[in-house]
């Protein structure tokens, strides 16, 4: 059958590939289906999708988070006008939270991991079978009746085929893009675990409902196969692990095995990490095997707010993690959140002062967003705290106050912006020997090959961050200002020239 998979544009960062969709597309191809994947983040104009839809598609599948749920429904309605005979399927995080949201628009809603569910569902559709109630992990309408089948068992990740990144026709361009300032080499994003044992207020139990509480993981041998394939086929030199628990002292032997797999292939890597699951020995091993950057979920410098988030960490844990990373020469990006309902000015000051103390290489600051299905959402409803319930505004990319707290919106923005130092892109290029070397090598290559457009883009990207930060400040304060919109579009055009 002809199967089209669509990843919505949303407001998400254009970064890497949509790993869940790639995994699903790979297993469908393995079963003999003709699969096309369209990631709309890389096709801002509608012409590309319009042309793709001129073909006959038996099944069209969509991925949806809460942030893009409305966009997905609207897009499906447009697509259905061009492909009225297709069967429409939707999966993703929001189908676990609120499957009823999609019932009137989609033929089938996939609840949980999609790979085996969609393969079985496609087989039923292909054979003309209508006893869909025998397919685990779906929800659908049968006349006026809503049918919800039992959840499917969690997958053994080691039994999945290696993901086919070639489902992206522009994969080589994607792998060449700069990952902020931490990566100049070709890279691939991978995910080698699913599941989380922690119970943070702002993301659980939603994540657990999707992937379970147990950390399922690829074996180090399977990781080596995956990375070896990516290196041989796409000539990558770096890897970004999207897993939260790659550095896990509770699974030390496994973590060491993964690090060794990266090291044997001569690759470098970056990853996310909790500050209390990576001790000095684990960080040292990671560094020796090519780790250059970690993204740490700090969230707050206030013990009270950290307790509210149920992060199971303390400011001293944060200090120790950053101290160890700096000692080893690992760059750290600190992710913080302002806007908790219990947060006072004193709490916000603690976060800001902690950032000044630990001196991250970069700070990512967000305003707390209460997603449906989370402990945070339940808490706010139970305690009758005013907050934004409209899912169209459930977007971390929209820097607006979403929960009533003691800090007014303007004060939140001030804390958020002053916590973000001027991007140290050029500072790191100059002061870190490795980056200094490859930075000037790349500049020389661009000059030698007369790629002046790329050269202009590269210099502009590394030198205009102070200006970009000012544009961001005004954008947060005046999101509908037409001049700001034009400035933002202008910079986007310049940096893509």
Domain shared by 371 and 452, yes or no: no
CA distance 366 to 399: 7
pLDDT of residue 380: 94
Q: Rounded distance, CA 90 to CA 83, Å?
A: 16
Query: CB–CB of 187/162 below 8 Å?
Result: no
How far, rounded to the nearest angstrom, does the alpha carbon of residue 179 sit from its chain's CA centroid? Answer: 13
DSSP string for residues in 344-362: -HHHHHHHHHHHHHH--SE
**Which of 421, 442, 470 is the last residue in one of the domains?**
421
Q: What gap in Å lies between CA 227 and CA 240, rounded to an integer?
A: 11
**Within-domain flag for 154:** no
By the 8 A CB rule, do 447 and 455 touch? yes
**Amino acid 495: pLDDT:** 43
Using CA atoms, how far apart are residues 467 and 454, in angstroms rounded to an integer? 20
Q: Is 164 part of a structural domain of the chain?
A: no
Tell me: do 274 and 379 sit in the same domain: yes
- Name the average pLDDT for the chain: 84
pLDDT tens-place string over residues 303-339: 999 999 999 999 999 999 999 998 998 888 899 999 9
* pLDDT score at 485: 55
pLDDT level of residue 299 (50, 70, 90 thresholds): very high
Please give the residue range of the domain that contains residue 464.
433-495
Quote the DSSP letter at residue 424. Answer: -
**Is there a single domain that holds both residue 259 and residue 186?**
yes
- Tell me, yes or no, whether 170 lies in a domain: no
In a domain, residue 385? The reply is yes
Q: Which pLDDT band, with edges at 50, 70 and 90, does 497 fall under?
A: very low
Helix/strand/coil for 89: strand
- Residue 173 domain flag: no
Domain match, 138 and 187 both: no
Nearest-angstrom CA–CA distance, 199 and 162: 30
Domain-located, residue 461: yes
Please confirm whether the linkage preceding 205 is cis (ω < 30° from 0).
yes
Per the structure, how many domains does the chain have?
A: 3
Shared-domain flag, residues 258 and 344: yes
Residue 277 has pLDDT above 90, yes or no: yes
The predicted-structure confidence for 96-129, as pLDDT tens digits, reads as follows 999 999 999 999 999 999 999 999 999 999 999 9
Q: Do 416 and 441 sit in the same domain of this protein?
A: no
- For residue 14, the model assigns a pLDDT of 74
Residue that wins the pLDDT comparison between 14 and 76: 76
Mean pLDDT for the stretch of residues 217-244:
95
109 and 246 housed in the same domain: no
Sequence-ordered list of residues with C-beta below 8 angstroms from that of 274, at least 6 positions apart, any chain = 198, 244, 245, 247, 296, 297, 313
Which pTM was predicted? 0.84
**Any idea what the CATH number is for the domain that residue 107 is in?**
3.40.50.280
Q: In what order do the strands lie in the sheet with 238-241?
A: 187-190, 238-241, 268-273, 291-299, 331-338, 362-367
Rounded to an integer, what distance in angstroms lies between the CA atom of residue 4 and that of residue 380?
39
My answer on whether 250 and 381 are in the same domain is yes
Shared domain for 397 and 486, answered yes or no, is: no
**The domain boundary residue, chosen from 368, 393, 421:** 421
Q: Is 61 contained in some domain?
A: yes
Please check the confidence at residue 423 and state whether its pLDDT lies above 80: no
Q: Is pLDDT larger for residue 260 or for residue 11?
A: 260
Closest-CA residue to 192 (of 310, 339, 438, 19): 19
Backbone angles phi, psi at 159, to 5 degrees: -95, -5
Distance CA 118, CA 338 (A): 39
Last-in-domain residue among 126, 148, 170: 148
Mean pLDDT of 367-389: 92
CATH of the domain at 225: 3.20.20.70
Instruction: Give the start-end residues of each E strand in 300-342.
Output: 331-338
Q: pLDDT tens digit string along 169-202?
A: 989 888 876 555 445 567 899 999 999 999 999 9
Residues 144 and 190 in one domain: no
Q: Is residue 169 part of a domain?
A: no
218 and 351 part of one domain: yes
107 and 213 co-located in one domain:
no
The model's pLDDT over 223-235, given as tens digits with 9 standing for 90+, comes to 999 999 999 999 9
């Amino acid at each position: 059958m002809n199967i089209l998979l669509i990843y919505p544009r949303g407001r998400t960062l254009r970064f890497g590939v949509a790993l869940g969709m790639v995994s699903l597309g790979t297993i469908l191809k393995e079963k003999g289906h003709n699969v096309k994947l369209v990631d709309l983040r890389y096709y801002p104009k509608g012409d590309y999708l319009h042309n793709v839809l001129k073909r006959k598609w038996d099944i069209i599948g969509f991925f949806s988070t809460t942030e893009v749920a409305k966009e997905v429904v609207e897009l499906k309605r447009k697509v259905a006008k061009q492909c009225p005979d297709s069967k429409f399927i939707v999966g993703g995080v929001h189908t676990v939270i609120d499957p009823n949201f999609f019932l009137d628009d989609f033929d089938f809603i996939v609840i949980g991991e999609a790979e085996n569910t969609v393969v079985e569902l496609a087989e039923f559709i292909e054979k003309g079978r209508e006893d869909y109630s025998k397919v685990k992990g779906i929800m659908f309408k049968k006349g006026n009746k809503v049918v919800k089948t039992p959840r499917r068992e969690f997958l053994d990740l080691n039994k999945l085929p290696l993901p086919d990144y070639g489902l992206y026709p522009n994969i080589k361009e994607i792998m060449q893009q700069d990952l902020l300032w931490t990566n100049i080499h070709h890279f691939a994003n991978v995910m080698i675990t699913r599941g989380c044992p922690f119970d943070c207020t702002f993301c659980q139990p939603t994540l657990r409902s999707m992937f379970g509480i147990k950390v399922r993981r690829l074996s180090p041998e399977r990781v080596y196969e995956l990375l070896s394939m990516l290196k041989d086929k796409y000539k990558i030199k770096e890897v970004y692990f999207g897993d939260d628990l790659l550095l896990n002292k509770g699974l030390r032997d496994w973590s060491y095995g993964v690090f060794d797999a990266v090291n044997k292939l001569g690759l470098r890597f970056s990853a996310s990490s909790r500050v209390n699951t990576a001790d000095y020995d684990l960080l040292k091993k990671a560094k020796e095997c090519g780790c250059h950057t970690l993204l740490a979920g700090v969230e707050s410098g206030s013990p009270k707010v950290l307790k509210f988030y149920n992060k199971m960490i303390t400011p001293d844990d944060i200090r120790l993690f950053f101290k160890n990373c700096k000692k080893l020469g690992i760059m750290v990006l600190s992710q913080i959140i302002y806007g908790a309902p219990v947060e006072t000015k004193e709490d916000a000051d603690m976060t800001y002062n902690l950032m000044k103390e630990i001196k991250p290489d970069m700070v990512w600051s967000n305003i707390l967003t209460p997603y449906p299905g989370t402990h945070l959402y339940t808490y706010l409803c139970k305690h009758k705290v005013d907050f934004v319930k409209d899912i169209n505004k459930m977007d971390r990319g929209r820097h607006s106050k979403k929960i009533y707290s003691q800090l007014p919106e303007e004060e939140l923005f001030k804390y958020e912006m002053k916590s973000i130092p001027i991007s140290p892109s050029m500072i790191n290029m100059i002061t870190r020997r490795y980056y200094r070397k490859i930075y000037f090598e790349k500049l020389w290559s661009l000059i030698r090959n007369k790629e002046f457009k790329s050269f202009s883009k590269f210099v502009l990207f590394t030198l205009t961050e102070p200006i970009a930060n000012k544009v961001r400040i005004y954008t947060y304060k005046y999101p509908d200002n037409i001049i700001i919109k034009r400035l933002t579009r202008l910079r986007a055009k310049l940096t893509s020239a």
